[in-house]
Structure 1
């Protein structure tokens, strides 16, 4: 038989209840819930933890019932964002003062922008937890006391990981470190580390190829290197290394390479693009004779789903409460507008406009009016962004922000989100693209999807659509 001490008077569960609050005994879970959710007290109108009952049974703060305050921050008295005996802001200030101390009792001058940056976050408790992680703690402490330089070279020595990347971008956003192309920098580091794992003669050749061919092209391009580019180039280095290893196993040299050898290799190998570029560079550099790596062209993709089936799927996605709003929007942009995930995650907040009582969105160069159902979902997503808790205080410019400061959601993350939900994004997008190319002129398709006019025209021809449809479309 349960006794009064074994039952919570608030949630009515049979659990040990140690705290005498809310007119009875409450359990740990209810106590934590009270601390996490301060509200405006009906008695004094202050934001307080409402853990007591007044004469009419309303929840009020300790002061309003003449009790000693047991919840307020020991430093400032705040009841908001409590963590231990302090509020989040005081705990973070204390943590930063200790971590960034240059040894004289003051924060290192060059790390003060980081202190100010983190103190401006919406929920300081997130920043406190982040600062406890390694190698963050040791690196910042080393920078503060002068053991480590406050420079990108310090971070270059850390393991290549999402945490290190986030750390670097945070220091850039806080103006502690200068702006760089983060993925390009990581690519150079990853290549250098990979080359230490292969034979020296192979490593020298691959290093020379990347130094004179790959990296200069990446540095000249207008946009920063993306996650996909990083992964592809690193994969390409492994592909070239595997090819050189195969040559060595066949007792062959790059200098004696001929077409027969290439044909024999690619009879079993599938990766061609990077090797094609490598062999073309090697021929120009006089390292081998010119050889041809044939292209494997995929056949035209037929529409695997009808317009009706895509419409039905769109309705199911709209009603799917398990899939996050971000996942549903990415899926709908692919299903309805044939948008690739990499283009959707690159959308900015200013690509969305409110006009004529509806939301419009700019895909590529064309503004599209969204139907009511998608508009409502997008509006809910925008409202969520406005109240989103974040480690960093910078104003967000992305429609789908990532967790890294100043960066949008990674395309791979978006694809993974939909794949886990059973949605084959590429097949869905291809189906919609084929259906659109049958009815929409190539130029219009190009403007909406963001592909070249030549590609759009090829799609149109392959799917049976022609420019002759355009006048009729305009009349309708």
Structure 2
């Protein structure tokens, strides 16, 4: 290990001492030896050490992005060689710089301030309030690519934001997918800065897409999760939490062992803004998952507060949201229709404010699910009031 991490002088840089101390404390030395001898990640780390330069986030940002870079960065953060950061957001700036390097400078002058001061600043504020930011990073990248496509279209039609008219915009919207309507935020930002005139464009709410599960189908799948030993344990837990509470994949994958809480003989699951009661059979599966899951076999177990129930391939990080969904699909389970069915079932029984607080969703989202199942009595009440008024006058 010391040969692998030796610097130009033949000595291991002092910066990497915490990493070595953690690695030699592993309970799985055979796995560590295989990792050192056979993986491209270990060679990537060796090249960094051999350079003799201090390793920083900026150093890694300047290298080509990929699995090796992500893995080694996470390993260095996990062992306190590098400070933690909001990875999905902090990677946006170097990614955008590389993307814009091959684009006209006028595109960069528009996109960089919008991403830095509008999108990233809003995402960081949400992160400071405790909201998950991983999905925000993906959305920012998607919006940046959409804007670049639009700017390229303007160039091809010899247009600018200043000369863009409503007819031009509608031509572009009609010629592509519905996601092009997401350009509305960028155009509103440009209008506030006097770069373009006011345009009529609004974001289009996506359809739920997949069909709903019937209540019988939902309960049948839930019974299979709770009682079938043919499925992997983490698949059973992930499916059951989706089917029972309608929790999103991003929330499930971020659960830790410390989120499982016992109160007497009852088990609860700590969420962002509430605590969910867990039925006994599902509670047994959760406790078993916490006891058998380890987040990084190369290193000693982390503290329970960071022991992920759904660990990913990157040290110290949970499974990604796409990775969680892919795992479920490999075992015949589609997250979205199951989640929709669970939320509709809960909305039938709970008032929207209670549903919002219980699951940590917005009140608007809770009202949306309630609208699927709960009748709107406002029209009936208005008619009744008018009839009561007439009766009184008569």
The residue number in structure 1 matching 2:374 is 464
Structure 2 runs not aligned, ≥5 long: 378-394
Aligned partners of 1:190 and 1:136: how far apart in 2? 24
The correspondence of residues 1-150 of structure 1 with structure 2, limited to 5 A, is 96-102=1-7, 106-132=11-37, 133-134=39-40, 136-143=42-49, 146=52, 148-150=53-55
Deviations 1:86-127 (A, max 9, x none): xxxxxxxxxx22123345554322221111021122212333
Helix, strand or coil at the partner of 2:299 = coil
Counterpart contact for 2:182–2:204, Cα < 8 Å: no
In 2, Cα distance between equivalents of 1:130 and 1:224 = 35
SS at match of 1:360: strand
Q: Considering fraction of residues, name the structure with more helix.
A: 2
What per-residue deviation string (whole Å, max 9, x for no partner) do you get for residues 380-412 of structure 1?
A: 2122126x7612223242332323233222222
Match of 2:245 in 1: 337
Alignment root-mean-square deviation, CA: 2.8
Instruction: Tell me what 2:391 maps to.
Output: none
Name the residue aligned to 1:435.
345
Match of 2:258 in 1: 350
Q: Does 1:207 align with 2:131?
A: no
Between the aligned partners of 2:316 and 2:199, the Cα distance in structure 1 is 44
User: TM-score, normalised on structure 2?
Assistant: 0.84
Aligned residues of 2:162 and 2:195 also touching (Cα < 8 A): yes
Alpha-carbon distance in structure 2 between the residues aligned to 1:421 and 1:305: 17
| 1:251-283 Cα distance to aligned partner (Å, 9 max, x none) | 322211122222222123322464111111111
User: What secondary structure, in the 3-state scheme, does the structure 2 residue paired with 1:97 have?
Assistant: coil
Are 1:279 and 2:187 counterparts? yes
Higher gyration radius (CA):
1
- Give the whole-Å Cα distance in 1 for the aligned partners of 2:208 and 2:83: 46
**Which has the higher relative contact order, 1 or 2, with Cα contacts under 8 A spaced 6 or more apart?**
2
- Does the C-alpha gap of structure 1 residues 355 and 193 become closer, same or farther in structure 2, counting only changes over 3 Å? same
- Displacement after TM superposition at 1:140 (Å): 3.4
Q: Which residue of structure 2 lines up, in the alignment, with residue 25 of structure 1?
A: none
Seen in structure 2, the aligned counterparts of structure 1 residues 103 and 197 have a Cα distance that, compared at 3 Å, is: closer
TM, length-normalised to structure 1: 0.70
Shift in alpha-carbon separation, 1:253–1:303, aligned structure 2, 3 A: closer
Give the secondary-structure state (helix, strand or coil) at the position aligned to 2:179.
coil
Match of 1:265 in 2: 172
Cα distance in 2 for partners of 1:237, 1:210 equals 7
Call closer, same or farther: CA 1:371–1:200 in 2, change over 3 Å.
same
| 1:361 equivalent in alignment to 2:249 | no
Q: Does the CA contact (< 8 Å) of 1:306 and 1:431 recur in 2?
A: yes
Deviations 1:160-181 (A, max 9, x none): 1232112112112222222322
- For 1:17-76, what per-residue CA distance to the aligned partner results, in whole angstroms no more than 9, with x for missing partners? xxxxxxxxxxxxxxxxxxxxxxxxxxxxxxxxxxxxxxxxxxxxxxxxxxxxxxxxxxxx
Match of 1:311 among 194, 208, 219: 219
Distance of 1:145 and 1:207 partners within structure 2: 32
> Is structure 2 residue 56 aligned with structure 1 residue 151?
yes
Deviations 1:194-215, CA, capped at 9 Å, x for gaps: 1123334323322232233223
Structure 1, 242-251 or 366-375: larger mean CA deviation: 366-375
Residue 291 (structure 2) pairs with residue 383 (structure 1) = yes
| 8 Å Cα contact 1:339/1:429 also seen in 2 | yes
Q: Tell me which residue corresponds to 1:417.
A: 327
Task: Note closer, same or farther for the CA distance 1:466–1:353 as it changes in structure 2 (3 Å cut).
Answer: farther
CA contact under 8 A between 1:166 and 1:405: conserved in structure 2? yes
How far apart are residue 302 of structure 1 and its match? 11
How far is the alpha carbon of 1:443 from its aligned partner? 2.2
Change (3 A) 1:202 1:366: closer
2:204 aligns to what? 296
Per the alignment, residue 135 of structure 2 pairs with 228
* 3-state SS of 2:3 partner: helix
Determine the structure 1 residue equivalent to 2:313: 403
Unpaired runs of 5+ residues, structure 1, are: 1-95, 468-476
User: In the superposition, relative to structure 1, how do residues 211 and 105 fare at CA in structure 2: closer, same or farther (>3 Å)?
Assistant: closer
